[in-house]
Amino acid sequence: MPTTATAPRTYPSDEFLATTVQRMARSGAVHGAILCVESGDGTLSWRGAAGNLRSDQRYFIASVTKMIVTVVVLRLRDQGRISLDDPMQRYLGAGLTRGLHVVDGVDRSDQITVRHLISNTSGLTDYFFGKGPDGRNAGDALLQGNDEAWPLERIVERARTLRPRFLPGQRGKVHYSDTNYELLGRIIETVTGASIADVFDEFVFRPLGLRDTYAFRDESDTTPAPMYYRDRPLHIPKYIASVTAEGGVVSTAAEVMVFLKAFFDGTFFPPRTIDELKHWNRIYFPGQFDFGIGLERQWLPWFMSPFKPLGELLGFWGQSGAFAFHNPQRDLFFTGTVNQLSGFGHGAAVSAMVRVMKATG
User: Region 98-119: what's the mean pLDDT?
Assistant: 97
Domains contained in the chain, CATH given: 14-65+209-359 (3.40.710.10), 68-196 (3.40.710.10)
Nearest to 314 by CA among 274, 284, 345: 274
- At 6, is the pLDDT very low, low, confident or very high (cuts 50, 70, 90)? low
- At 286, is the pLDDT very low, low, confident or very high (cuts 50, 70, 90)? low
pTM of structure = 0.96
Share the mean pLDDT of the chain: 95
**253-265 and 65-78 helices, crossing angle to 10°:** 30
pLDDT of residue 21: 98
User: Region 134-154: what's the mean pLDDT?
Assistant: 93
In tens, the pLDDT along 210-237 reads 999 999 999 999 999 999 999 999 999 9
Q: Is the peptide bond before 286 cis (omega within 30 degrees of 0)?
A: yes
Distance between CA 235 and CA 240 in Å, rounded?
A: 10
In tens, the pLDDT along 322-338 reads 999 999 999 999 999 99
Flag whether pLDDT at 28 surpasses 90. Answer: no
Distance between CA 330 and CA 105 in Å, rounded?
A: 51
Q: What are phi and psi of 218, to 5 degrees?
A: -90, 110
User: Region 175-189: what's the mean pLDDT?
Assistant: 98
